């Protein structure tokens, strides 16, 4: 394999000088637009509008905070990837803490057993009568699934103790973070299934031939279409497709928000002042969990922070920098490409912040006033009311088309990102040779199909996209955001080459944002529990 054709390989003699000037820089942007395609469907269209519906204008400041607070953490993790060529999982698998040689039973068959046992347990739980879906029954099913998983581990390890002693120092190291990340993938499947199901609901609005639960069928067909596009396309085609989809729906949403001013739901200056004043509405468990899910999904979510390093690599930033070298040429080249990356990040932030504000205002002005909360099988139908109220009844068709595009773009971007992450994880633990680029591409394609099948199963079981997102996003964010925030600070001082370290202003902002990420999601979970058990009351 020629190194110049492998974007994941850096070398001493393959590099490109960074562009100078805005016009040349713009030609090298693009990874951020893939993230916008991933963010807009889950965070903006579904959870931001739902938060506006349940809280009114009072949490507009929180949504703005969510969009602004994660950018520098995303960029600083990418700084290390661009300069070193190490992907996100490789970087975080090297964080200090517990770890050890990969267990012999950590193989593809064992991972398949984990998935099968988890899906079976959830499927059985969802088939129980509603009054039987208790914590106790879920615990029993969970114990059964864990028993299956550990039993498979014992079978795969049996007879291998001698070989384990011989090669335990040769097998790759797996640290605490990689174990945590692999476990989080089970929740991520439910999270992504919500987006796929919402896209199926959008199609079902236009073509309801399959009956009440027809969105299940459409979700499977959408998954098949996504697989076809991802298996036959490339990074460049994915980037162009998502730019077109996101631009179309973002423009439509901005137009609807502007036209809202000529309806009975016009947004006043008092509404905006109320939304920008840092205050809390009457805090219920629903409000807090919805706010946490919106926080997890708006701006650059944890999943986008993970995948952004891979898109930067496939765009060519790391390969263009080349391997670390002494002298002044390499630092100047690295700083130039990091500047390109920061331009990509900041322009992306402007795009998704503008669309996020519009989605929130539509939800607060229309859905909150009408007492409509997107939920269950009626999620997309309720969301379409925002557009019919802004324009006219004919806008429902426009929403179905636009809503499908934005949700489908999230399915594409999310699946493409997760398949790369999972392939990288299998390479890190030594299950596959991800350093061999054709092998990496092979497993990316295989996992693309597997993930889309699992997303379809997840929606088939739950059929409630907002609820699926609220639960999974909040839980993953509570665990991952603190690690991302503090991990970015660790990289700043322990792993980034001092010659290309960020300046004092960027470092200060990184401290503010890193510590904020470490506090907000776990604090929100504790707040939701305190309200649920009536330990405290806020805004009552």
Tokens of 272: 């905006």
- Checking 216-223 for CB contacts under 8 A at 24+ apart, the result is 216/459, 216/460, 216/463, 219/455, 219/456, 219/459, 219/460, 220/456, 222/196, 222/408, 222/411, 223/196, 223/411, 223/452, 223/453, 223/455, 223/456
In angstroms, the CA 169 to CA 495 distance is 24
Q: Could you tell me if 258 and 514 are in contact, meaning their C-beta atoms sit under 8 angstroms apart?
A: no
Q: What angle do CA 140, 473, 514 make, to 5 degrees?
A: 125
Which single residue is written with the structure tokens 């009552």?
540
* Predicted confidence (pLDDT) per residue in 228-245, tens digit: 988 887 777 777 777 777
- Domains in the chain, CATH or no CATH each: 3-97+179-532 (1.20.1740.10), 104-174 (no CATH)
Phi, psi of 100 (to 5 degrees): -175, 180
Please indicate whether residue 32 or residue 162 has the higher confidence score (pLDDT): 32
pTM of the shown model: 0.87
Q: What is the 3-state secondary structure (H, E, C) of 253-311?
A: HHHHHHHHHHCCCCCCHHHHHHHHCCCCCCCCHHHHHHHHHHHHHCCCCHHHHHHHHHH
With CA atoms as reference, report the closest residue to 502 among 50, 9, 136, 72: 72
pLDDT band at 178 (very low <50, low <70, confident <90, very high): very high
End-to-end CA distance of the chain: 64
Give the pLDDT confidence score for residue 2 in this predicted structure. Answer: 45
* Predicted confidence (pLDDT) per residue in 180-214, tens digit: 999 888 888 888 888 898 888 888 888 887 777 78
Q: What angle do CA 384, 388, 390 make, to 5 degrees?
A: 115
Region 256-279: what's the mean pLDDT?
A: 84
CA-to-CA dists, residue 307 to 288, 314, 515, angstroms: 27, 11, 22
**% of the chain at pLDDT higher than 70:** 89
Q: Which stretch of DSSP H or E encloses residue 174?
A: strand 173-175
Give the pLDDT confidence score for residue 1 in this predicted structure. Answer: 40
Q: Could you tell me if 364 and 57 are in contact, meaning their C-beta atoms sit under 8 angstroms apart?
A: yes
Give the pLDDT confidence score for residue 375 in this predicted structure. Answer: 72
Averaged confidence pLDDT in the chain: 83
Give the pLDDT confidence score for residue 396 in this predicted structure. Answer: 64
* Predicted confidence (pLDDT) per residue in 301-360, tens digit: 888 888 999 999 988 899 999 898 888 899 999 999 999 999 999 988 888 888 888 888
Which single residue is written with the structure tokens 């009072």?
58
Q: Is the pLDDT of residue 248 over 70?
A: yes
Please indicate whether residue 133 or residue 194 has the higher confidence score (pLDDT): 194
Positive or negative, the CA dihedral 124, 129, 135, 136 is negative
Please indicate whether residue 443 or residue 470 has the higher confidence score (pLDDT): 443
With CA atoms as reference, report the closest residue to 306 among 525, 109, 105, 88: 88
Q: Is the pLDDT of residue 33 over 90?
A: no
Q: Is the pLDDT of residue 168 over 60?
A: no
């Amino acid at each position: 394999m020629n190194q110049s054709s492998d974007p994941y390989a850096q070398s001493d003699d393959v590099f490109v000088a960074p562009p100078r000037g805005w016009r040349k820089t713009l030609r090298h942007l693009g990874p951020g637009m893939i993230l916008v395609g991933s963010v807009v469907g889950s965070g903006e269209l579904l959870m931001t509008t739902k938060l506006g519906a349940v809280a009114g204008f009072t949490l507009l400041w929180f949504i703005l905070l969510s969009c602004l607070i994660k950018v520098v953490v995303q960029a600083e993790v990418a700084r290390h990837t661009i300069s070193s060529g190490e992907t996100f999982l490789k970087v975080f698998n090297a964080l200090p803490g517990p770890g050890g040689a990969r267990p012999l039973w950590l193989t593809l068959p064992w991972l398949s057993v984990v998935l099968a046992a988890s899906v079976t347990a959830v499927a059985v739980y969802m088939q129980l009568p509603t009054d039987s879906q208790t914590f106790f029954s879920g615990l029993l099913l969970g114990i059964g699934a864990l028993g299956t998983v550990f039993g498979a581990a014992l079978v795969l390890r049996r007879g291998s103790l001698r070989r384990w002693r011989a090669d335990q120092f040769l097998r790759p190291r797996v640290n605490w973070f990689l174990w945590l990340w692999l476990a989080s993938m089970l929740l991520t499947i439910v999270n992504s299934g919500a987006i796929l199901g919402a896209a199926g609901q959008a199609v079902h609005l236009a073509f309801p031939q399959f009956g009440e639960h027809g969105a299940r069928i459409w979700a499977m067909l959408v998954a098949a279409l996504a697989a076809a596009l991802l298996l036959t396309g490339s990074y460049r085609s994915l980037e162009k497709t998502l730019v077109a989809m996101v631009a179309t729906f973002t423009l439509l949403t901005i137009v609807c928000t502007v036209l809202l001013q000529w309806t009975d739901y016009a947004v006043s200056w008092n509404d905006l002042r109320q939304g920008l004043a840092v205050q809390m509405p009457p805090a219920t468990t629903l409000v807090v969990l919805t706010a946490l899910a919106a926080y997890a999904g708006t701006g650059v979510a944890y999943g986008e922070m993970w995948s952004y390093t891979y898109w930067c690599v496939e765009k060519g930033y790391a390969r263009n920098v080349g391997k670390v070298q002494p002298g002044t040429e390499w630092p100047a080249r690295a700083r130039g490409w990091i500047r390109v990356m920061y331009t990509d990040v900041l322009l992306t932030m402007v795009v998704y912040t503008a669309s996020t504000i519009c989605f929130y205002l539509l939800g607060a002005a229309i859905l909150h006033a009408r007492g409509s909360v997107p939920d269950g099988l009626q999620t997309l139908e309720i969301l379409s009311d925002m557009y019919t109220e802004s324009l006219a009844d004919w806008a429902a068709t426009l929403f179905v088309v636009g809503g499908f595009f934005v949700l489908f773009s999230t399915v594409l971007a999310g699946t493409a990102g997760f398949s790369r992450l999972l392939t990288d994880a299998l390479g890190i633990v030594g299950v596959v040779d991800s350093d061999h680029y054709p092998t990496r591409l092979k497993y990316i394609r295989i996992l693309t199909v597997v993930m889309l099948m699992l997303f379809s199963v997840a929606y088939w079981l739950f059929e409630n996209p907002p609820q699926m997102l609220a639960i999974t996003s909040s839980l993953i964010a509570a665990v991952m955001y603190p690690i991302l925030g503090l991990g970015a600070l660790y990289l700043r001082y322990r792993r980034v080459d001092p010659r290309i370290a960020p300046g004092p202003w960027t470092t200060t902002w990184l401290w503010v944002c890193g510590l904020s990420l470490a506090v907000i999601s776990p604090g929100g979970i504790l707040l939701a529990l305190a309200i649920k058990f009536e330990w405290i009351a806020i805004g009552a």
